[in-house]
Amino acid sequence: MPLLSRSLNGLLTCALLLMSVHSLANHQVVSIGVYHNPPKILINAEGEVSGFFGDLIKEIADRENWNLQLVLCEWDECLTLLKDGKIDLMPDVAKTSAREESMSFHQQPALHSWSQVFAHKNTSISSVLDLNQKRVAVLDGSVQQSFLTQLAKEFELTIDWQIIKGFQQGLELIDAGQADALATNNLFGGFHANQYNLEPTAIIFQPAQLYFASPLGSTEHLERVDFWISQWMDKTDSPYQQILQGWQTQTTVFVIPTAFWLASGLVTLLLALSLIFLKRMKREVHSTRDELQRNDEKLSDILTSQKQEVHQLSFYDYLTQLPNRRLFMDRLQTLLVNLKKEPANGALILIDIDNFRSLNDTLGHQMGDLLLTEFSKRLYEYLDSNVNLSRFGGDEFMLILEDLSLNTHDLLTEVEKIIDQLRFALEEPFHLNQQEVLTSLSIGVVLFSEKNHDANELIQHAELAVFDAKKAGRQQVRFFDKEMQQQAEHRTQIEFGLRQALKSDELLLFYQAQYTDSQVTGAEALVRWQPLGKPLVSPAEFIPVAEASGLILPIGQRILKQACEQLVAWSANPKTAHLVLAVNISAVQIHDKDFIDQVILLLKETGAPADRLEFELTESMLIDNVEETIVKINKIKELGIRFSLDDFGTGYSSLSMITRFPLDTLKVDQSFVSDMHKDIRAFNVVKTVIELGRSLNLNVIAEGVETEQQHRSLEELGCKHFQGYLFAKPCPIEQFMLEQNLGH
């Protein structure tokens, strides 16, 4: 019998082992990242995952036959493991647009929370401004870090950030006196408040929905999480609600009475008295439960009061997270006050989404809210960080542009550049829930300077400008300043005309002769615009518009091609083969990445002699991107092309900078030539430029020579090359050839 008994026991053990192996084979191993953040996620004394998220995933795992494999890690380490696909699930993750680019989330949020600053009881923090000069512990890479960093920047606060790897580290810093406050989620802070002498502050922000996350594109486990949460969410007796209620109760920290431990010991030692102690424990449990319920009610009252304070202190729009109207008005009024100390120009731009109400009515308010959210994201993406931006109300967004040019033309160019960026970004289709939505914008602009002092008045002017834009048919831009509006419309007409001019060959080259010892040595090619059936348009009028709109690139390419073709024609005639042709090159062209390749191609296609082609640069072009410009000029110089510097003396370049460029010619600006007999300073500038050119072994051309007196004085100063109305005016090529006796 003993032998038979041992055999049966052996068979039973084998059967149990086989059943265990079969059971494990049917279980799917799911790895889950676990970091210490009670009461949401933690490892309990038995080494099992616990907390709200831990208990919830265990319930789901039981039903899905998942075998949970725990991976212990710090917060940022867990996120890295998730993004690298080394764990399957990460609990307690707030969904943000940035995170959605690197990980996947389920649809139904598992828990609602918010961020809050908890301060040591000995530290007084009642508002955001009280964070100045404080030591604040914040989790590296967290939503709390990004929000509070931006907030400190907005309010110009100096905060000593204590960057931590886990919230527990923040508690230890406060306990050691190395930090004054901790930015964390409300559940973690409330859970540890009593133990670490913390008090919740009125700084509540970023209501968050918390999820399980998985590696990007991996949704198998998330779909099952979604299924069970959706099943349990609204059922009062479901596992979800039981877990939620259990951990909400535990967020109030309390000390279990000593009598409990005595009773437990006596129960162990004196089994005979177990019934007595059990009754006593029941009374203790009932008393503790009542106390916890009272504490929960107090906590609810405190949170309600704090939410009311946050509502009063809130500076940001709840939907888009942009500054709201109140904060925007404060900034604008502050800016207007500062302008009295440092005068400058600025602009308000009010953006109104056309037909937004119709979209709300047809697609629903949820879709409208989604459009506003995506709209604000694009604004942030396409605008410079120094542009103040606000959701002003409804479907209206307001921008402040600061430190604009004092020159009217340049100011208009700067404003129009921003508006073009806005329209390019915001009139592209929005894809909302797999549906394409198109938007158009009505934009109102009002300019301001130190003369303005009333923010409300400027806002009213911007609203009137938007009203005019809508009245004009929507998808329009209107300036409140009528004169500025007329200038903007005129510039638009010029830009449209230039586009037509490129198609219709309305851009011509005029040639102004250059002389040495009364002999023509070359010419400067000057572009002219001759609209069909209309008088010539001044270059001073259309060149700035061409540069601002980018049309200067195709125009410059057209001019350069015509100049090369003219050089080819001249090279075939012995009377003109020696002539040098100077072509003005804009800053936009010289900085264009394809410019050198285009020059090489033109020389190859036309066969133009490169050593008879001269590029004229202006002094202002040499100041920006100096090293890059020097490299480009040297590469072009290797082709044989000459370089001259126009308008020398009118800018800010230094002599040491000029010597770094491989120049062939200096041109004395016509403004100095014109004034050389009226102003001794102009005379001295002319003299200095001529002497400088000779010392650097450069040709010097005086331009704008209109009188014999100027001519004689320039010769006496040593100048040998001249250009101006005294010798010849700019004219078409046929007239140029006749006037210079060069034949047809």
660 confidence band (pLDDT: 50, 70, 90): confident
pLDDT of residue 26: 56
Average pLDDT of the residues in 9-13: 42
Distance between CA 270 and CA 273 in Å, rounded?
Answer: 6
Average pLDDT of the residues in 645-661: 69
DSSP 57-75: HHHHHHHHTEEEEEEE--H
pLDDT at residue 486 greater than cutoff 80: no
Question: Beta-carbon neighbour count of residue 740 at 10 Å?
Answer: 19
Average pLDDT of the residues in 228-242: 87
Give the pair of three-digit tokens for residue 537.
Answer: 């348009």
pLDDT of residue 256: 32
- Smallest CA-to-CA distance from 262 within 281, 283, 279, 275 is with 281
pLDDT of residue 182: 94
pLDDT at residue 10 greater than cutoff 60: no
pLDDT at residue 302 greater than cutoff 90: no
4 confidence band (pLDDT: 50, 70, 90): very low
264 confidence band (pLDDT: 50, 70, 90): very low
pLDDT of residue 166: 86
Spell 184-221 as b/e; 16+ CB within 10 A means b.
bbbbbbbbbbeebebebbbbbbbebebbbbbbeeeeeb
Least confident of 9-18, 186-195, 335-344, 711-720: 9-18
Average pLDDT of the residues in 355-364: 78
287 confidence band (pLDDT: 50, 70, 90): low
Least confident of 403-407, 466-470, 486-490: 486-490
Average pLDDT of the residues in 261-283: 45
pLDDT of residue 255: 32
pLDDT of residue 283: 62
pLDDT at residue 160 greater than cutoff 50: yes
- Cross-strand pairs, 50: 42
What is the overall mean pLDDT for the chain? 82
Distance between CA 329 and CA 392 in Å, rounded?
Answer: 10
Average pLDDT of the residues in 255-266: 37
34 confidence band (pLDDT: 50, 70, 90): very high
What number of CA atoms fall less than 13 Å from residue 696's CA on the CB side? 21
Where do the domains of the chain lie?
262-313, 325-480, 494-739
Largest CA distance in the chain: 140
Angle of CA points 480, 485, 487, to nearest 5° = 150
Angle of CA points 86, 90, 94, to nearest 5° = 135
pLDDT of residue 298: 62
Distance between CA 624 and CA 740 in Å, rounded?
Answer: 39
Average pLDDT of the residues in 418-432: 84
pLDDT in tens, 579-589: 999 999 988 88
With beta carbons less than 8 A apart as the criterion, state whether 30 and 61 touch: yes
Average pLDDT of the residues in 549-574: 92
Question: How much is the pTM?
Answer: 0.45
Burial class (CB in 10 A: 0-12, 13-18, 19+), 325: middle
Q: In terms of DSSP H, where are the helices of 427-551? A: 455-471, 482-504, 539-549
**May I ask the CATH class of domain 494-739?**
alpha beta
With beta carbons less than 8 A apart as the criterion, state whether 348 and 399 touch: yes
pLDDT in tens, 323-349: 888 888 888 888 888 887 777 888 889
Distance between CA 556 and CA 549 in Å, rounded?
Answer: 13
> The domain at 325-480 falls in which architecture?
2-Layer Sandwich (3.30)
Give the pair of three-digit tokens for residue 661.
Answer: 């460029």
pLDDT in tens, 366-397: 888 888 888 888 888 877 766 788 888 888 89
Distance between CA 29 and CA 714 in Å, rounded?
Answer: 92
pLDDT in tens, 513-546: 999 988 999 999 999 998 887 888 888 888 888 8
Q: Which residue has the higher pLDDT, 67 or 449?
A: 67
Q: Which residue has the higher pLDDT, 507 or 475?
A: 507
pLDDT of residue 521: 94
Give the pair of three-digit tokens for residue 342.
Answer: 């440092």
Collapsing DSSP states into helix, strand and coil, what is residue 630? helix
Distance between CA 653 and CA 647 in Å, rounded?
Answer: 11
pLDDT at residue 16 greater than cutoff 50: no
Q: What percent of the chain has pLDDT over 90?
A: 34
DSSP 682-732: HHHHHHHHHHHHHHTT-EEEEE---SHHHHHHHHHTT--EEESTTT---B-
pLDDT of residue 308: 54
pLDDT at residue 184 greater than cutoff 50: yes
Judge whether 325-480 and 494-739 match in fold: no
pLDDT of residue 407: 79
pLDDT at residue 296 greater than cutoff 80: no
Average pLDDT of the residues in 571-593: 91
pLDDT at residue 721 greater than cutoff 80: yes
pLDDT at residue 279 greater than cutoff 80: no
pLDDT of residue 719: 94
Least confident of 128-132, 289-293, 461-465, 558-562: 289-293
